[in-house]
Copies of this chain bind each other. A is one copy, B any other.
């Protein structure tokens, strides 16, 4: 268990495109619960998978519990999820921190979000040139909320 404190920003696409960051990791994730008081996420990466429970966000922090699970379980668990997200994650060191920059695919194509994990909400960090508007406190940008816009073909709901 840990308390996760993070800030989240939109990414300026034209600046990002000019940085030519390489080596992203494809992530497939789906939600067994999108309830903001208790989200349950299954995440499948290349050869690794996890199940993660997060509590309600308070300011920019929330409880997080993450456990590795077999990749084959994750494949099957994804078929049980109510909604899914497919994105490529880039790890980008800037100053003393490393950003997670997520480039979304599918129905969310065009969306890019940058996240930074902090030790405390007021921690100072160096803003990269591609950083756009902050959306840390905007629940519409929770991945669990974004996932509702994008369901895999074998799930129920809007195609």
Q: Tell me the complex Cα distance, A40–B39, Å.
A: 10
Contact mask for chain A residues 65-77; partner B; CB cutoff 8 A; 1 contact, 0 none: 1010110110011
- Residues of chain B lying within 8 A (CB to CB) of residue A69: 65, 67
Does the CB pair B73–A1 fall under 8 Å? yes
Of A29-37, A85-93, A116-124, A146-154, the stretch lying at the interface with chain B is A29-37
Is A84's beta carbon under 8 Å from chain B?
Answer: no
Q: Which of A33, A67, A76 has the most CB of B within 10 A?
A: A33
Is A81's beta carbon under 8 Å from chain B?
Answer: yes
- Residues of chain B lying within 8 A (CB to CB) of residue A73: 1, 65
Number of A residues with CB within 8 Å of any CB on chain B? 22
Q: Which of A35, A76, A80 has the most CB of B within 10 A?
A: A80
Option from B33, B55, B76 in Cβ contact (under 8 Å) with A65: B76
Does the CB pair A35–B38 fall under 8 Å? no
Also in contact, A80 and B32, with CB within 8 A (given A51-B51, A53-B51, A65-B73): no
Option from B40, B65, B76 in Cβ contact (under 8 Å) with A63: B76
Output the least CB separation between A76 and chain B (Å): 6
Option from B53, B63, B82 in Cβ contact (under 8 Å) with A35: B82
Does the CB pair A67–B51 fall under 8 Å? yes
